[in-house]
């Protein structure tokens, strides 16, 4: 879900955000339950806030600011991507330790 706070997000912007989020789905092996992206404009910057819910009550959250919307989206997806990789690694190591 992509939401614009006090602005309208174009369809091209929505598709760009969805394309970036597909990377996170691959990292989490389709265990992402839902994702919400809120885009706002504060002064001369775009603020992009991303929240991803994964299985097992895990919430990945990131906020990024930049003067250009695509750059803010890239930054927040990168931040949440690091959290997703760390979570996926944790799942793998726990699975190995049980065996």
pLDDT tens digit at each of 99 positions of the chain:
888 888 888 888 889 888 988 888 888 877 878 889 999 998 999 999 999 988 888 899 999 999 998 899 999 999 999 998 998 888 878 767 665
By DSSP bridging, strand 32-42 and strand 2-5 are parallel
For 1-99, list the strands marked E by DSSP.
2-5, 32-42, 45-54, 58-66
Which residue has tokens 């002064």?
Answer: 43
Tell me whether residue 10 is exposed, middle or buried, using C-beta atoms within 10 angstroms of its C-beta: 0 to 12, 13 to 18, 19 or more.
exposed
Q: So what's the pLDDT on residue 48? A: 93
CATH superfamily, with its number, for domain 2-98: Ribosome hibernation promotion factor-like (3.30.160.100)
The confidence score (pLDDT) of residue 61 equals: 94
d(CA 43, CA 99): 54
Delimit the domains of the chain by residue range.
2-98
Say what the pLDDT of residue 62 is: 94
């Amino acid at each position: 879900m992509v939401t614009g706070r006090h602005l309208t997000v174009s369809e091209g912007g929505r598709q760009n955000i969805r394309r970036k989020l597909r990377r996170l789905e691959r990292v989490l092996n389709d265990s992402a339950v839902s994702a919400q992206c809120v885009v706002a404009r504060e002064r001369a910057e775009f603020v992009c806030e991303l929240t991803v819910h994964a299985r097992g009550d895990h919430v990945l959250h990131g906020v990024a600011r930049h003067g250009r919307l695509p750059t803010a989206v890239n930054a927040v997806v990168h931040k949440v991507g690091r959290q997703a990789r760390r979570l996926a690694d944790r799942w793998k190591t726990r699975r190995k330790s049980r065996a």
